[in-house]
Structure 1
Amino acid sequence: MQMKDPHSRPAADCLADLNARPEGLTATEAAERLAMHGPNRLPETQARGPLLRFLAQFNNVLIYVLLAAAVVTGTLQHWIDTGVIMAVVLANAVIGFVQEGKAESAMLAIRQMLAPRAAVLREGRRVTVNGATLVPGDIVLLEAGDKVPADLRLIEARGLAAQEAILTGESVPVDKATAPVAADAPIGDRRSMLWSGTLVTQGTARGVVTATGPATEIGRIGGLLAGVEQLTTPLVAQMDHFARWLSFLILLVVALLLGWGVFVGHMPFSDLFMTVVAIAVSAIPEGLPAVMTITLAIGVQAMARRNAIVRRLPAIESIGSVSVICTDKTGTLTRNEMVVARVETSAGRFDITGEGYAPRGDISPPGDLSALALAAGLCNDAALHDRNGVWTVEGDPMEGALLAFAGKVGAPLGASRLDAIPFDSRHRFMAVLTDGPAGRLIHVKGAPERVLGMCGDLDYALWHDRAEAMARQGLRVLALAERPTTGDKIDPAALEGGLTFTGLVGLIDPPRPEAIAAVAECRAAGIRVKMITGDHAGTAAAIAAQIGLQNPDRVLTGADLDKLDDAQLALEVASVDVFARTSPEDKLRLVTALQASGLSVAMTGDGVNDAPALKRADAGIAMGLKGSEAAKEAADLVLADDNFASIAAAVREGRTVYDNLKKVISWTLPTNAGESMVIIVALIAGMSLPMTAVQILWVNLITGITLGLALAFEPTEKGTMAHPPRRRDAPILSGELVWHVVLVATLFLAAVFGMFTYALDRGYSLPLAQTIAMNTLVVLEIFHLFFIRNIHGTSLTWAAARGTKVVWTVVIAITAAQFAITYVPVLQTVLGTESVALLDGILIVGIGAAFFAIIEIEKQIRLGLQRR
């Protein structure tokens, strides 16, 4: 019984098809249809249980390797290593478990938008019922302030308008009427329909329910949202690929070494096995997942200070990599508040300043606009309220803007209303009869072409062209007129040709000033900003020009997009920055087309219509103050202040977090490779090990997480926003990083073996030589930390040497630990170490300084070549 295209059918045909009557259904019919169609709410999705959700967090190759390492170390009774590894695994599982369930929450938020109560006709009597019990064929009664409980085909409408921004993005209420519209009309132009979840702003209506629950427009979007494939972030995908590669490589190397030692070197299996385990544990970056998670968590706190609330940890890395921001217009780039920006009278053009609905602003040039302001303020059903310094409107936002304009002019609005003709889409004007200090007047406001035609002794063509010119600049244009009278009633026939024209009023939902600066900052960072809105093309183009988009002159509408296949769309979306009259499917197609071109896409929005695209985007950003709950639940980030400028700040923080993650990886892989290579080379060469297995495990434990963790607290480097966005498919293991791993591992190998050979040549005992080699390795890792802190510039500055409190705290703690195991007798016994002489200690630090100088010179040469 659900109807197809009721907006294009006469109301009488819709009633007949639904087997409905103007007086409503009977209670029996309603009960039967409720059993057939189900309740007027969205079905709940079947969610996984808590246990399955928790176990799913362990389904990762690197986690498998870590668990295997924990089993091996536990078997060998190395309980400290076992405990560290298990703590890392459990911490990651708990964090992932908490972050689960975004899609289910988004569906719940949309379900909550359905109206809880509804006024209907049952057997000719008005009754109030639970909104969930509405069925197709019910006759629903609505008035100003009501939330629409289901999709309705209008039967009667008097002065009706509805706020549909949550579905269409259009900032002003839409006038409604009962006349059918074209079958292919977009959602925003289906004026014969009211949509579930929207708000009636003025007038009264009677409509027949055409769709309930999942079949409504909101329900359809909910189904679209549930079917959207959520992409993993580039970092998560790359780390998964990296984990598979690293696991295979480590297992292969360990197997080869074990076979070499047993069959070629004829080494005792127990000693060899312990050494191989030490190599495996030192090679596996078991601290990397924990440090990555902590780095992201620190980014959460930094973004919260910037009014960007992160709902999912990897989204921080995603926002830092975006190359395109697709933004809604209403409430995101604009204030979602109508203001009178310009008026035109026979005296000329006047620009009006001021923000929001506050009756404060300037008029330029100064002039007498009292007659126009009086008509705007009296031909009006809205009211303004000052609530703790914040001006709000009760009623139509456009009428609220007209009241604010009247207040700026200082028009006296104390006249009493004697009669009124409410606005109706058929006659397209509103008229009021007032009696005040200016006398008894009829004030009229309405569509320019209608009101101008009612005015006598007027150059219609001239003023029509001026109204059209204002509309092309993105203004919503109203015409106002007046007529003196002595009667107590308004005679509609006397208005035709008898009005005196007072002027044109142009209204706009103005852009946020901070959004203009934020768009400029994003463009400077190499990020393209694209506007995707449900509003009219002219309005979208005007706002795009004011906001500073790169290509505001060309606009594609939803109808234009329907004519393009996916390949054509991928070509067009690269150059077009303004898309108007779009549907949820259009927004989703645009985001997908950009991603298909290899771009990382952020989508901002606040309405239900934005939720599917928010979920699909690499980084979905919802508005926290004016955004719908569905948008917030579908998004990765929520802006607490609804400020587009916070997006630029979030991008900066996201880039900082990624830089810090890159530093962690760039520090971890070379040091782990260096540790492993020292043992592997000695094992293959049949030499004495420069460090024992226990000492390798100690170094891995004391430095593996601590030094890497210090990098998570690094501040934003200078010039972070000057770099272009990285590609979506940019690998973590770039050629540059691979070269760095090879270089550092080779230098580690040379330095550690050099100091080990030096000690043996001096006649030192093997334990002392191993102690010197172990301390050399730790010193090299500390110097490498100071080097890696600055990946975009030089590390030879006072600021770089000064470091941060975290860096020096960690370095001092590790230094103290190394002194303890080197000189405390009890610990010497445990780790097989001996005391190192002062001069040898100075030499170790000197080796570290030389290592730092070599890699810093190499970096400066490489950066110099890149700048050419």
Structure 2
Amino acid sequence: MTTPQNTPPAYGLTTEQVQKLQEQYGKNELTPRKKQSFLRKALHIICEPIFLLLLIAATIYFILGEPRDGAIMLVFVIGVIGIDVTQEWKTDRTLNALKNLSAPRIQVIRDGRQEEIESADLVPGDIMRIAEGMKVPADGKILEANDLCIDESSLTGENEGVWKAAAGKAEPSSDYWRKDTCYAGTFVLKGSAVVQVEKIGAATEYGKIGANVASAPESRTPLQKQTDSLVKTCSIIAIALFVLVCVFTYLNLPDHAFPERITESVLSGITLAMAMIPEEFPVILAVFLSMGAWRLAKRNSLVRRLPSVETLGAVSVLCVDKTGTITRNQMSVQDIWAPDGDTQTLLETMGLACETNAYDPMEKAMVACCEANGIGKGHLFSGTLIREYAFTNELKMMGHVWRHDGEVLIATKGGPEKILDLCELSETERQITEHRILEMSSQGLRVIAVGLEKPVDEDAIPAAITDCKLTFCGLVGLCDPPRESMKEDISRCTKAGIRVVMITGDNGITASAIAKQIGMPNADRIMTGEELDSMSDEELRRRVRDVSIFSRVIPEHKMRIVKALKDNGEIVAMTGDGVNDAPALKYADIGIAMGKRGSEVSREAADLILMDDDFTTIVDTVRDGRRIYDNIRKAVGYVFTIHIPIAFSALLAPFLHINPADLFLLPLHVVLLELIIDPTCSIVLERQPAERNIMVRKPRKPNEKLLTPNLLWKSVLQGIAVFAASFTTYFSFLQQAPYNAPLARAMGLSIVIIANLFLVLVNSSSYDFAYASICRLAKDNVMWATLLGTFAMLFLILYTPLCGILKFAPLTMGQFFLAIGIAAGSVLWYEIVKFHSHATAKHKNSN
């Protein structure tokens, strides 16, 4: 793969060149996205146990000489498969849309203009800009470099950063890995560069090594495993009952011919087996999680890993950075103090210690303060920058060596405790300074110390910043005020049983002052990084239970804090934006990266990307995570409930010696009910709003099962009630008119179908009464469509030629309203249970 020649770097490629190169080289991807064909999707669904049973039932109808019933069965099978394929297609479309939203982006120069594109759209010859915290998207030659240091451990295995230089300026080397080249898959640790792309996709060095990564199998999530286990358990029970019902039905037909006895008994067994297999569970999981992720994306929370949607609802501890998350990330200098009163020297030294192209909010505020006091950039950076002392988490300070106004200056700034250690101060001067630091910090200001050294010449410049002997210039107090909504957000978290833990590199007094301003509980319980270093893991696990602020921490500390919290049984969400936050984000149960100011590395390590960097969005996302999990549970409970009347009626029929031809539900009718169950559980219940108390209850336990005993009992009782109402009505009509099984069947099935609507209204909330759901119905087009669609289907099968084809008889208006009344009574009794729960809760609260 070659790079187009004679392309002016400042202009970049033209649109015409890009189009031709994309046709030649394709996308910048390791492997192209594979699209599963419609036929393969349909075949996968048909292989599910439930559909195999349906096909067997249709075949038996044809064998019995009833081709019309067999054909109708096949039409219904196609209808149910169509619903499932449509749901899969919607899920795939949602996931692809989410992938597009989360696709890495890169700044390039095209047609002489700088623009941002998806990394996948890069072509050889593109001029791209990379900066600190980004993942390099392609192999390329460095045209310009500014303090560029890259982590190439993903390729070389060496953890040390590699300093890069522009082509022609790098030292000659025989190494395979060039110093004037950037490689795809590596991370920018420091600095920035302009790079001309040479290789993309599988042709890159990373592509050669990791071409098989995309084809690696994905492991099943805990929630998927739970649903798989439920389906398998029900399938085993279904097989056992299938055999039992076949035997009983066969023995119950002594006067029938042998072939007819076999086919009738198999049909009865299939009806029961179909009723026992809740094949909707995988559909529920896929649809609810993908649609939940899509709804979150529209609210500025981009989910990168679907299982995290479900985990969000269980978060019990939220670890957040102070700057930019709790505060606005809009620093301004609020106070300056020079012990000798020379504020001009203090300000100029502070400015010289900043980067010439400041990107850090604190440095931007410092340079702005200098300009506001008459010290412009033109004066500050008019000299020659000789060397830099880089900032590190261990040092907590940095410095620049300048030849400025004819003399050599070492301008330094950093944490007061670090800078003061390099200054020659008397005991009295030190005490006065420390008192001033305490005053500034207690006001919520971030305090930075400034020091200056003037070596006699360049040969006297110390090798390391720690070797400097500084003159103390003074202190700078910066303020990054809390976001306006933080006080309310912290209150919401506290009510929801979620601990907010502040982890910051700032000092504890400043962090505590901010925490008190926003009403954070235990704002005076602080632990420093130095204290943490002296603790064993066991002691740390004990202390993290009540510490709310961790100050002066480094990335390794974040990892230990998250691990200690997780060891205590907490579900931990962690926010981060820098390269060094990536390990902690990866280790947390939910890693939350900042979308605006976050590095590409942190975003790649995270489960969730916050598009607006707003703490309120995190709280709203947790709330929505709880809503999604609640709705998954409601749907699972609903599926159990609605399957019980079907299963019990098939199980009871042989014991009551009911002729198989007169059964309450034939396989045909089970498929008809599936056409109602699938849309109800996967569309209607997915969109249910959050419960009123969703953010005033404690987080659920991490090991809590999806199908709890309480939910199972509720579903069983509701299912038995619907079964009792529908089957008793059917059996009563059957006894009154033995030769009119179609009428008895029509009454029983009508009750089940109408009860289905009442179940949605009653179970859409575990706390609100059904009338609240009815009020919402007036504003929800989907609920209206479900209600009207269900009644339209019922009228279609009762009062059109389909009635006879489906082996029903039309109901009189009196019988129809009787069915509505019985259906309502079979479900609305649960409102009394809700009323009793409300009364009990009210009594407890009053005591």
Verify: 1:658 aligned to 2:629, yes or no: yes
Q: Secondary structure at the match of 1:380?
A: helix
1:776 to partner: Cα distance: 1.4
1:525 to partner: Cα distance: 1.4
Q: Distance in 2 between matches of 1:295 and 1:130?
A: 39
Classify 1:400/1:707 alpha carbon distance in 2 versus 1 (closer, same or farther; 3 Å): closer
Give 2:347's aligned residue: 376
Give 1:24's aligned residue: none
1:840 to partner: Cα distance: 1.0
Contact 1:117 1:131 in 2 (8 A): no
Give 2:113's aligned residue: none
Verify: 1:252 aligned to 2:240, yes or no: yes
Classify 1:68/1:831 alpha carbon distance in 2 versus 1 (closer, same or farther; 3 Å): closer
After superposition, the C-alpha distances for 1:81-100 in whole angstroms (9 at most, x for unaligned) are: 54356557767877589969
1:812 to partner: Cα distance: 0.8
Classify 1:664/1:580 alpha carbon distance in 2 versus 1 (closer, same or farther; 3 Å): same
Question: Structure 2 unaligned runs (5+)?
Answer: 1-27, 61-69, 105-118, 121-132, 174-185, 194-203, 390-396, 462-469
1:234 to partner: Cα distance: 5.0
Decide which of 471, 486, 490 is 1:519's aligned counterpart. Answer: 490
Verify: 1:636 aligned to 2:591, yes or no: no
After superposition, the C-alpha distances for 1:434-455 in whole angstroms (9 at most, x for unaligned) are: 79xxxx9x99875776699689
Q: Distance in 2 between matches of 1:457 and 1:590?
A: 36
Classify 1:316/1:200 alpha carbon distance in 2 versus 1 (closer, same or farther; 3 Å): closer
Q: Secondary structure at the match of 1:743?
A: helix
Give 2:753's aligned residue: 778
Question: Structure 1 unaligned runs (5+)?
Answer: 1-43, 121-127, 151-194, 203-212, 215-221, 348-368, 385-391, 484-488, 493-498
Q: Secondary structure at the match of 1:198?
A: strand
Classify 1:561/1:131 alpha carbon distance in 2 versus 1 (closer, same or farther; 3 Å): closer
Q: Secondary structure at the match of 1:321?
A: coil
Decide which of 235, 238, 249 is 2:223's aligned counterpart. Answer: 235
Q: Distance in 1 between matches of 2:473 and 2:562?
A: 46
Contact 1:53 1:97 in 2 (8 A): no
Classify 1:569/1:131 alpha carbon distance in 2 versus 1 (closer, same or farther; 3 Å): closer
1:644 to partner: Cα distance: 2.0
Decide which of 751, 775, 779 is 1:799's aligned counterpart. Answer: 775
Q: Distance in 2 between matches of 1:467 and 1:554?
A: 20
Q: Once structures 1 and 2 are overlaid, which stretch shifts more, 397-406 or 713-722? A: 397-406
AA aligned opposite 2:684? A
Verify: 1:700 aligned to 2:673, yes or no: yes
Correspondences of 1:127-138 after superposition (within 5 Å): none
1:839 to partner: Cα distance: 0.9
AA aligned opposite 2:822? I
Classify 1:258/1:717 alpha carbon distance in 2 versus 1 (closer, same or farther; 3 Å): same
Q: Distance in 2 between matches of 1:342 and 1:844?
A: 78
Verify: 1:293 aligned to 2:286, yes or no: yes
Calculate the TM-score normalised by the size of structure 2. 0.69
Sequence identity percentage: 27
Q: Distance in 1 between matches of 2:233 and 2:684?
A: 26
Classify 1:642/1:230 alpha carbon distance in 2 versus 1 (closer, same or farther; 3 Å): farther
Give 1:315's aligned residue: 308
Number of residue pairs the alignment of both structures matches: 709
Q: Distance in 2 between matches of 1:697 and 1:45?
A: 46
Decide which of 320, 323, 333 is 1:327's aligned counterpart. Answer: 320
Classify 1:613/1:432 alpha carbon distance in 2 versus 1 (closer, same or farther; 3 Å): closer
Q: Distance in 2 between matches of 1:474 and 1:274?
A: 78
Give 2:6's aligned residue: none
Correspondences of 1:542-691 after superposition (within 5 Å): 544=515, 548-556=519-527, 567-579=538-550, 587-688=558-659, 689=662, 691=664
1:763 to partner: Cα distance: 3.9
AA aligned opposite 1:809? A
Decide which of 312, 336, 340 is 2:333's aligned counterpart. Answer: 340
1:815 to partner: Cα distance: 0.7
Contact 2:575 2:594 in 1 (8 A): yes
Decide which of 136, 143, 167 is 1:112's aligned counterpart. Answer: 136
Q: Distance in 2 between matches of 1:427 and 1:697?
A: 73
Classify 1:429/1:588 alpha carbon distance in 2 versus 1 (closer, same or farther; 3 Å): closer
Decide which of 505, 512, 522 is 2:476's aligned counterpart. Answer: 505
Give 2:18's aligned residue: none
Q: Distance in 2 between matches of 1:623 and 1:526?
A: 24
AA aligned opposite 1:72? I
Q: Distance in 2 between matches of 1:138 and 1:611?
A: 16
1:235 to partner: Cα distance: 3.2
Decide which of 713, 716, 732 is 2:706's aligned counterpart. Answer: 732
Verify: 1:306 aligned to 2:336, yes or no: no
Classify 1:701/1:415 alpha carbon distance in 2 versus 1 (closer, same or farther; 3 Å): closer
Verify: 1:402 aligned to 2:366, yes or no: yes
Classify 1:48/1:232 alpha carbon distance in 2 versus 1 (closer, same or farther; 3 Å): farther
Q: Distance in 2 between matches of 1:99 and 1:841?
A: 44
Classify 1:232/1:779 alpha carbon distance in 2 versus 1 (closer, same or farther; 3 Å): same
Give 1:198's aligned residue: 189
Q: Secondary structure at the match of 2:704?
A: coil
Q: Distance in 2 between matches of 1:316 and 1:112?
A: 29
After superposition, the C-alpha distances for 1:764-823 in whole angstroms (9 at most, x for unaligned) are: 722111111111111111111211122122223462564732112111111111111111
1:282 to partner: Cα distance: 2.6
Classify 1:695/1:843 alpha carbon distance in 2 versus 1 (closer, same or farther; 3 Å): farther
Correspondences of 1:162-173 after superposition (within 5 Å): none
Give 1:864's aligned residue: 839
1:650 to partner: Cα distance: 0.9
Q: Distance in 2 between matches of 1:64 and 1:707?
A: 20
AA aligned opposite 1:249? I
1:537 to partner: Cα distance: 6.0
Q: Distance in 2 between matches of 1:600 and 1:240?
A: 24
1:726 to partner: Cα distance: 1.1
Decide which of 728, 732, 740 is 1:754's aligned counterpart. Answer: 728
1:471 to partner: Cα distance: 5.9
Give 1:7's aligned residue: none
AA aligned opposite 2:694? T
Calculate the TM-score normalised by the size of structure 1. 0.67
Q: Distance in 1 between matches of 2:161 and 2:803?
A: 86
Q: Once structures 1 and 2 are overlaid, which stretch shifts more, 296-305 or 546-555? A: 546-555
Q: Distance in 1 between matches of 2:161 and 2:402?
A: 34
1:661 to partner: Cα distance: 1.8
After superposition, the C-alpha distances for 1:370-415 in whole angstroms (9 at most, x for unaligned) are: x73685258624899xxxxxxx96367544322323456x547599
1:760 to partner: Cα distance: 3.8
AA aligned opposite 2:190? L
Q: Secondary structure at the match of 1:197?
A: strand
1:263 to partner: Cα distance: 4.4
After superposition, the C-alpha distances for 1:353-385 in whole angstroms (9 at most, x for unaligned) are: xxxxxxxxxxxxxxxx9x73685258624899x
Give 2:785's aligned residue: 809
Q: Distance in 2 between matches of 1:836 and 1:338?
A: 74
Q: Distance in 2 between matches of 1:653 and 1:419?
A: 55
Q: Once structures 1 and 2 are overlaid, which stretch shifts more, 653-662 or 235-244? A: 235-244
1:678 to partner: Cα distance: 1.9
Q: Once structures 1 and 2 are overlaid, which stretch shifts more, 424-433 or 243-252? A: 424-433
After superposition, the C-alpha distances for 1:720-751 in whole angstroms (9 at most, x for unaligned) are: 22222111122222222122122112212221
Q: Distance in 1 between matches of 2:425 and 2:604?
A: 52
CA RMSD of aligned residues (A): 5.7
Contact 1:88 1:289 in 2 (8 A): no
Classify 1:374/1:597 alpha carbon distance in 2 versus 1 (closer, same or farther; 3 Å): closer
Classify 1:852/1:618 alpha carbon distance in 2 versus 1 (closer, same or farther; 3 Å): same
Verify: 1:274 aligned to 2:267, yes or no: yes
Give 1:27's aligned residue: none
After superposition, the C-alpha distances for 1:37-75 in whole angstroms (9 at most, x for unaligned) are: xxxxxxx99999969999999999998544644553564
After superposition, the C-alpha distances for 1:304-358 in whole angstroms (9 at most, x for unaligned) are: 22111123333222212222223344543445554323334689xxxxxxxxxxx
Q: Distance in 1 between matches of 2:503 and 2:783?
A: 45
Contact 2:227 2:281 in 1 (8 A): no
